[in-house]
Amino acid sequence: MTHPTPPMSLLAELTHRCPLACPYCSNPITLDRRQDELETTDWLRILDEAAEIGILQAHFSGGEPMARPDLPELIAYANRRNLYTNLITSGVLLDQSRFNALRDAGLDHVQLSFQDVETEGAERIGHLRGAQQRKLAAARIIADDGMPLTFNFVIHHENVARIPAMLALAHEYGAGRVEIAHTQYYGWGLRNRAALLPTRAQLDRSVQDIETARQHYGNTLTIDFVTPDYHLDRPKPCMGGWGQRFLNITPSGRVLPCHAAETLPGMEFPNARNQSLETIWNTSPLFQLYRGTDWMPEPCQSCDRKEIDWGGCRCQALALTGNATNTDPVCGLSPHHHVVTDSLNRNERPELQFRHF
């Protein structure tokens, strides 16, 4: 049996606990409980296995990964195993002494997430008073140290007009990179889709804003822009293809090809508590289910983009058409494309539902 190419990155979702309540949270509707989280020793073994199968990067995420007191120990261990370490955090739990512990552990990079550039908008979305000030203080601590820093902004109908100010903020704080990512509609985000989805005019404006900013900042600020795929005619290659580049591990140890794969019905999800990453990656039914192109229906099967976008997103196909094997309905060639266009044509803006833990 030929084995697939090893994964490049591991996303370690250390906990689902989080002090924020964002209405676009893409974590599962049912969250892992604290008492079900993997122990430190489990994570150390997983990091060993990751290094052994050739993974290069370990991204520590959540929920809020800083809710785990063993975070510096995990980063130090990943570092010893020569994994590039990235912390994806809201920053609200980061102060100078906690940052020093992470830096001394060998942390390579921080991605700091912001809900908005304005305090009022940020704290409405995150639902935590004082959060913006704490995030800016965290940004200052990281920037003063000189550690590579990325600002992440999630964009939606309410804040899309403030992209230029977001980029200016990232530049002012010395972030080398900024990610402007339109909301992806999974999990809680799908529940709030009608309230969050930008209009076509807003999207066009955001594209222009990014163009202008790229010229203005040149190579002093790298700008990654993730467009909302609902407004596209062809889907994105979700996760670079199912089971091709990424591994996600949930707080309780389930090993998944993507963040939202737990929504697949009737699947048995492999667990890092009782199987090695190598076995899961190479032989588990879950990872093989949509790997490559053999599983594809028409129109993907005869399409010249099938090894470019890999048929789009399986979880979006499931959420919007009820069947993960369907072509992603974002694709204009999908027989279900109307479910996407119908949602774009609705004008109502319901109240946001916030995620509380």
Q: Give me the residues that bind ligand FES (CB under 6 A), please.
A: 238-239, 242, 258-261, 313-316
User: What are φ and ψ of residue 86, in 5° steps?
Assistant: -130, 130
Out of ligand SF4, ligand FES, none, what residue 314 binds, judged by CB under 5 to 8 A for its kind, is ligand FES
- Helix (H) or strand (E) run with residue 10 in it: strand 9-13
Q: Which stretch binds ligand SF4 (CB under 6 A): 94-102, 145-153, 157-165, 309-317?
A: 309-317
Cis upstream peptide for 63 (omega within 30°): yes
Q: Are 179 and 150 in contact (CB under 8 A)?
A: yes
- Nearer Cβ to ligand FES (77/185): 185
- What minimum distance in Å lies between the beta carbon of 196 and ligand SF4? 24
Choose which of 45, 305, 336, 337 interacts with ligand SF4 (CB under 6 A).
305
- Of 196-235, which residues contact ligand SF4 (CB under 6 A)? 234-235
- What minimum distance in Å lies between the beta carbon of 236 and ligand FES? 9
- Nearer Cβ to ligand SF4 (97/302): 302
Number of residues that bind ligand SF4 (CB under 6 A): 14
- What minimum distance in Å lies between the beta carbon of 28 and ligand SF4? 25
**Helix, strand, coil % (nearest 5) of the chain?**
40, 15, 45
What is the side-by-side strand order in the sheet with 177-182?
222-226, 177-182, 149-155, 109-114, 84-89, 57-61, 9-13, 246-249, 255-256
Residue 328 sits in the site that holds ligand SF4 (CB under 6 A): yes
Q: Which two tokens stand for residue 57?
A: 């990067």
- What minimum distance in Å lies between the beta carbon of 26 and ligand FES? 8
Residue 309 sits in the site that holds ligand SF4 (CB under 6 A): yes
**3-class SS at 61?**
strand
Q: Which stretch binds ligand SF4 (CB under 6 A): 138-146, 253-261, 305-313, 343-351?
A: 305-313
User: What are φ and ψ of residue 177, in 5° steps?
Assistant: -145, 150
Q: Which two tokens stand for residue 61?
A: 């995420």
- Of 54-93, which residues contact ligand SF4 (CB under 6 A)? none
Residue 299 sits in the site that holds ligand SF4 (CB under 6 A): yes
Choose which of 113, 159, 183, 327 interacts with ligand SF4 (CB under 6 A).
327
- What minimum distance in Å lies between the beta carbon of 306 and ligand SF4? 4
Please report, to the nearest 10 degrees, the dihedral formed by the alpha carbons of residues 327, 197, 248, 326 taken in order: -10
- What minimum distance in Å lies between the beta carbon of 59 and ligand SF4? 27
> How many other C-beta atoms lie within 10 A of the C-beta of residue 335?
13
What residues contact residue 107 under an 8 Å CB cut-off, 6+ apart?
A: 75, 79, 85, 87, 147
Neighbour-count burial of 350, counting CB atoms closer than 10 A to its CB (0-12 exposed, 13-18 middle, 19+ buried) = exposed
Out of ligand SF4, ligand FES, none, what residue 234 binds, judged by CB under 5 to 8 A for its kind, is ligand SF4
- Nearer Cβ to ligand SF4 (111/334): 334
Choose which of 258, 300, 319, 324 interacts with ligand SF4 (CB under 6 A).
300
Residue 241 sits in the site that holds ligand SF4 (CB under 6 A): no
- What minimum distance in Å lies between the beta carbon of 231 and ligand SF4? 15
Q: Which two tokens stand for residue 161?
A: 């007009």
Residue 315 sits in the site that holds ligand SF4 (CB under 6 A): no
Residue 336 sits in the site that holds ligand SF4 (CB under 6 A): no
Q: Which residues pair with 133 in a beta bridge?
A: none
- What minimum distance in Å lies between the beta carbon of 225 and ligand FES? 19
Q: Which stretch binds ligand SF4 (CB under 6 A): 86-94, 163-171, 297-305, 317-325?
A: 297-305
What residues contact residue 351 under an 8 Å CB cut-off, 6+ apart?
A: 195
Q: Are 318 and 264 in contact (CB under 8 A)?
A: yes
Cis upstream peptide for 72 (omega within 30°): no
Judged by the rule CB under 6 A, the positions of this chain that interact with ligand SF4 are 234-235, 299-300, 303, 305-306, 309, 311-312, 327-328, 331, 333
